[in-house]
Structure formats: structure tokens, C-alpha cells
Amino acid sequence: MFPYDKLQTLNELETVIYNYINRHQEEVERMPIRALAKAAHVSTTTIIRFANKMGYDGYSELRFAIKQHRRNMLDNKPADSYDITVPLADFFNKVNTTDFNKLIDQAIEMIEAAPMVLFYGIGTGNSLAQYGARYLSNAGKLALPIEDVFQPFPFGNALPPKTVLILLSVSGETREVIQLVTKVQPEDVRIIAVTNHGNSRLARMSDLVISYYMPELKHGDLNFTTQVPVVYLEELIAHRIDEDRQRQALVDKPDGKDTNEQP
């Protein structure tokens, strides 16, 4: 509903509005602007500014768009079935934008300059960390998963300078993930957050944030939010790095010959 490139322009208060609307779409359809301001703990001016940034002339037009979006979602998906095709189609449209590609370029630049890449996540994120590390290793980059939640990083035994730590967290608020960031921040480490929430605590502590904005689904304490975007991002970055290495190999050895070879 909201374009990825426009979401990237939101400040902290505007992100609060986005999160509230995303979680309470049906209620917001009937809310006067003052009621929404009170519920989200922001000013009416901030709401109007949010609406304008999203491309709407005012709050009334924004509220109508929310109603139409929810109606379309209900029309396209049976209420008793699980279907992620609509949000995934939206995600894959967003990844083709200039702003998103700039994020990927920044991530690749950091990873290529790193002597080592570490992946870390909790629960499903741990499995994805293992997958991401293995896939990136296939591209010729030294990449390892941190599988132990209590992995120590002793003072005075620093990680190699410019090590990249890729953190996978849907909420961006997982205690163990935040604790790991706190441990490694004193080191010369670059932190990349891959999260569903671009304004989370993890996002604010990281050097680079790649957000995918999928509908969050939970069964009690279990998070069922799709991780297809995370797998896509891991594979995309690995393939881009592999392509860069192959291009560099052609430059170093034109026509397959060693440039140091004597005639």
C-alpha cells in the first residue's frame, strides 16, 4: 500500500503512525484525525505530514485509501486461508526501486571489504543465519553463523577490523540480538540489520538497515511472518558478490591469461 521508497523518508514519529495504521487498519478507517493522533501519541500535524509523504492530499484521502486497500485484500484472499502472494508481490516491486538497490549496493560494499562476515539470528533467524552464511560462502566469501546465543566476545580479543555482522530479526527488538550488538559495538565491526521493522531498536543501532515490511503473523509467542524476503536478500547479495568476483577475474586475467606471464 505504501511505496518502499516513500517509507524510507519517514522520521521516527511518522514511522510510529505507519506502524499504528498497519496494525489497526480497520479501526483507522473510522477514526477522525484527532482520535488517531491520540491513539498513536502524535500530533495531527504529524499525521498530515505522513499522509502527504505517502502521496495523499490529506487525512481523508489517506483513510479512504486504507479502506480501499483492505477491501481489495479481502476480495483477493479467502478469509480462512493463508496467502502471501499479495504482500510478496508488493515486496518484489519495491526491490526494483533505485533506493532499494542503493541499500543493496551499500551492503555489498561493506561485505566485500570485510575479512569475515558473521550471521546471527534467534529461532527461525538462526536457521536463516546458517543458510545465509553457507550461501555467501558459496560465493567465495568467508562467512560463518553464530549458533550459540551466549557466544562470548572477550575484551582485548578483538574481531578482525571491518568484520561485518548481519543480524536477522523480524521485530528488531529481540533481547539476545540487542545484547550481541552491545557486545560488538566497541569493536571495528559493521552491523547490517535485516528486519521487518525499519524503526526498531536494532535498526537504530545498526550501520545499515534493510527492511522488508511483511504482514506480521503470530500464533501466541510463535512468529509466522514469512521469511521469503530474507532468503531472497541473502541469495541476491551472494550472487551479486559472485558476479563482481567473476568480473574482477576477467580484468586480472584477460583472455584467460595470467597478466604476470612472461612472453
Residue at 81 is within a domain: no
Q: What value does the mean pLDDT of the chain take?
A: 86
Question: Among positive and negative, which fits the CA dihedral 69, 74, 80, 82?
Answer: negative
Residues 160 and 130 in one domain: yes
Where a domain ends, among 46, 76, 106? 76
Query: What's the pLDDT score for residue 260?
Result: 53
Residues 98 and 193 in one domain: yes
Rounded to two decimals, what is the model's pTM?
0.66
List pLDDT tens digits, range 32-80.
999 999 999 999 999 999 999 888 888 888 888 888 877 776 665 544 5
Residue at 260 is within a domain: no
Residues 71 and 112 in one domain: no
CATH number of the structural domain spanning residue 30: 1.10.10.10
- Domain span at residue 37 reads 4-76
Q: What does the pLDDT average to over 92-99?
A: 87
Residues 69 and 103 in one domain: no
Query: What's the pLDDT score for residue 39?
Result: 92
List pLDDT tens digits, range 140-181.
999 999 988 777 766 666 788 999 999 999 999 998 999 899
Residue at 159 is within a domain: yes
What's the number of domains the chain is made of? 2
Residues 43 and 108 in one domain: no
